Amino acid sequence: MTKERLYLYDTTLRDGAQTSGVDFSVNEKIVVAELLERLGVDYVEGGYPGANPTDTEFFSEKRTAKAAFTAFGMTKRAGRSAANDPGLQEILAARSDACCFVAKAWDYHVRVALGCTNEENLQSIEETVAAAVAAGKEAMIDCEHFFDGYKANPGYALECARAAYLAGARWVVLCDTNGGTLPDEIHDIVTRVQEVVPGSHLGIHTHDDTGHAVANSLAAVDAGVRQIQGTLNGLGERCGNANLITLIPTLKLKSAYADRFEIGVSDGQLREISSISHAFDEILNRSPDRQAPYVGETAFATKAGIHASAILKDPQTYEHVDPECVGNRRRVLVSDQAGKSNLIGELTRVGIQVDKSDPRLDRLLALVKEREAEGYAYEAADASFELLARRELGEVPRFFEINSFRVMVERRFNAIGDLVTVSEAVVKVDVDGETRMSVAEGNGPVNALDMALRKDLGKYQSAIEGLELIDYKVRILNGGTGAVTRVLIESHDTKTHRRWFTIGVSSNIVDASFQALADSITFALMKANLT
């Protein structure tokens, strides 16, 4: 049976970005786009060029290699031509492969929000799509509030969809903007829409306001749509968007979908989905949802006891899918054969080749498990992982040795009676047999420590000249100031353009930061092939 192609469209960087408390910098958007490419989605909706400086800058370059890089925006305003609509022109000027324009499909909104006639709205849709097509873009229309609009005025909603399709849109996306539609309604309405737009050109965009975002997406697919819009980890305002991390494994592993459809995510990419999901949580600096379907820490944590032996004999009788397919682990108290092959995979990924039977693998595996139990999360810190592995394999030279450091933060009145806070760090480091002491001030204790650490590394100083700290994330594990702090640092070398992540864990935030900073410097020196 020939499978049909199903397309995955990610809107983490646009709809997801509208979540309160979420604020991606250009840099973070680049990192997320890389994650999405790693996952294998077909479209990456990067934002709304022209709406804010971050998005405009993000679209100054094409940010994906495989996925269609997509710019979002609105249909042109009524009363202007497409050529004379600066908002539209800005979107077309962006370095994207595709453009997705949100359009009204509910007559009430046309009247109240746009203040134009139904006819004018249809015209705006047509002319916007035509302009995008003429500009060489793949064009699509997001029909906002489609299902509520259909219920209120089915004729008009269908006209909007039809207008977009006939004008040349590759996709007409039906959006359940308020999130209140149920699966059967989705199915019925999608079926009706195919009277005017073929399923091959239909997409679905759902929200989780009744806990049906995923179910609604699949109901729409069952009814004929061939594009699903969603976000990583279901990020989105209110109750979130459809969670692609939940949808993808179902599409790949459940015969009801896997037998009928092909998606752009390979089996190998599927095995990375847990890691990708967790890496995204790190970027958001959020605690992962431990109970998330497929990728959550407890998703396959079987009750220990009674049926342990039965599980091992035939896991299929207790697990709905094999956790390894999604890069997750069966958490039962037995020896971890799967652990070793995962580790080999991870080592290969950072460029280290080790033979399966190498005894050092077992030691490294035990070390990784121990560290992760303490709070290290190596899937988010490649450079620290690589250092750990290479140290275990005896390959990392001792570039420098930090004997001691002292960091002080003081808040006091200065000479003219102002209240100021000052941070100072002193570092004592051995380089090439010589002890050097450095002092630096900074905006805060970690900044001061960073400055002091990098101030004088003797013969290595030139190798870290281009080193800069891009991002710094702190997570407190287990709550309270008496708990464990995990620090994740992203570093960048302005000369080699290399980017890497390092991690530190301690009950003391300065100590944790110190580990991550020291690892970062060591990694930079290692990559510079010094001795």
Task: Pick the closer one to its own copies by CB: 317 or 353.
Answer: 317
Contact region with its own copies (CB under 8 A), list: 77-85, 132-140, 316-324, 519-527: 316-324
What values do phi and psi take at 376, rounded to 5? -70, 140
- Position 120 contacts its own copies (CB under 8 A): no
Contact region with its own copies (CB under 8 A), list: 13-21, 79-87, 356-364, 522-530: 13-21
Least distance (Å) between residue 529 CB and its own copies? 27
Least distance (Å) between residue 324 CB and its own copies? 16
Q: How many of the chain's residues bind its own copies (CB under 8 A)?
A: 116
- Position 115 contacts its own copies (CB under 8 A): no
**Does residue 172 come out as left (phi exceeding 0), alpha (psi in the -120 to 50 range) or beta?**
beta
Contact region with its own copies (CB under 8 A), list: 126-134, 265-273, 286-294, 357-365: 286-294
| Spatial separation of the C-alpha atoms in residues 142 and 335, rounded to whole Å | 50
CB 490 within 8 A of CB 367: no
Least distance (Å) between residue 357 CB and its own copies? 29
Contacts of 220 (CB under 8 A, 6+ apart): 174, 186, 187, 190, 202, 204, 206, 228
Which amino acid would we find at residue 267? D
CB 59 within 8 A of CB 86: no
Number of Cβ within 10 Å of residue 422's Cβ equals 14
Question: Following CA atoms 21, 22, 24, 25 in sequence, which dihedral angle do they give, to the nearest 10 degrees?
Answer: 0
- Position 450 contacts its own copies (CB under 8 A): yes
Least distance (Å) between residue 279 CB and its own copies? 17
- Position 23 contacts its own copies (CB under 8 A): yes
Q: Which of 204, 223, 283, 321 binds its own copies (CB under 8 A)?
A: 321
- Position 318 contacts its own copies (CB under 8 A): yes
Q: Mark 344-383 with x for binding to its own copies (rule: CB under 8 A) and - for no binding.
A: ---------------------------------x-xx---
- Position 445 contacts its own copies (CB under 8 A): yes
- Position 134 contacts its own copies (CB under 8 A): no
3-state secondary structure of 201: helix
Least distance (Å) between residue 110 CB and its own copies? 12
Number of Cβ within 10 Å of residue 307's Cβ equals 14
Question: Following CA atoms 259, 260, 266, 272 in sequence, which dihedral angle do they give, to the nearest 10 degrees?
Answer: -70
Q: Which of 201, 212, 252, 330 binds its own copies (CB under 8 A)?
A: 212
- Position 404 contacts its own copies (CB under 8 A): yes
- Position 524 contacts its own copies (CB under 8 A): no
- Position 210 contacts its own copies (CB under 8 A): yes
| Spatial separation of the C-alpha atoms in residues 147 and 162, rounded to whole Å | 15
- Position 83 contacts its own copies (CB under 8 A): no
178: nearest Cα among 212, 221, 141: 212
- Position 179 contacts its own copies (CB under 8 A): yes
- Position 57 contacts its own copies (CB under 8 A): no
Task: Pick the closer one to its own copies by CB: 90 or 176.
Answer: 176
Least distance (Å) between residue 375 CB and its own copies? 10
- Position 185 contacts its own copies (CB under 8 A): yes
Q: Positive or negative CA dihedral for 273, 278, 279, 285?
A: positive
- Position 203 contacts its own copies (CB under 8 A): no
- Position 335 contacts its own copies (CB under 8 A): yes
Least distance (Å) between residue 239 CB and its own copies? 5
Interface of this chain with its own copies, residues 453 to 492, rule: CB under 8 A: 468-483, 485, 490
Number of Cβ within 10 Å of residue 143's Cβ equals 29
Indicate the angle between helix axes 244-253 and 213-223, nearest 10 degrees. 50
- Position 262 contacts its own copies (CB under 8 A): no
- Position 261 contacts its own copies (CB under 8 A): no
214: nearest Cα among 199, 195, 232, 234: 234
Report the DSSP pairing between strands 4-5 and 171-175. unpaired
CB 186 within 8 A of CB 144: no
CB 440 within 8 A of CB 455: yes
Least distance (Å) between residue 163 CB and its own copies? 22
CA distances from 471 to 37, 358, 516 (A): 21, 36, 12
- Position 184 contacts its own copies (CB under 8 A): yes
Contact region with its own copies (CB under 8 A), list: 96-104, 127-135, 249-257, 458-466: 249-257
- Position 433 contacts its own copies (CB under 8 A): no
Q: Which of 30, 51, 78, 301 binds its own copies (CB under 8 A)?
A: 301
CB 211 within 8 A of CB 219: no
| Spatial separation of the C-alpha atoms in residues 429 and 308, rounded to whole Å | 52
Least distance (Å) between residue 395 CB and its own copies? 24
Task: Record the tokens describing residue 454, joined without a space.
Answer: 């990098």
Q: Which of 124, 128, 269, 506 binds its own copies (CB under 8 A)?
A: 506
Only one residue has tokens 């690892």, namely: 519
Q: Which of 62, 511, 527, 528 binds its own copies (CB under 8 A)?
A: 511
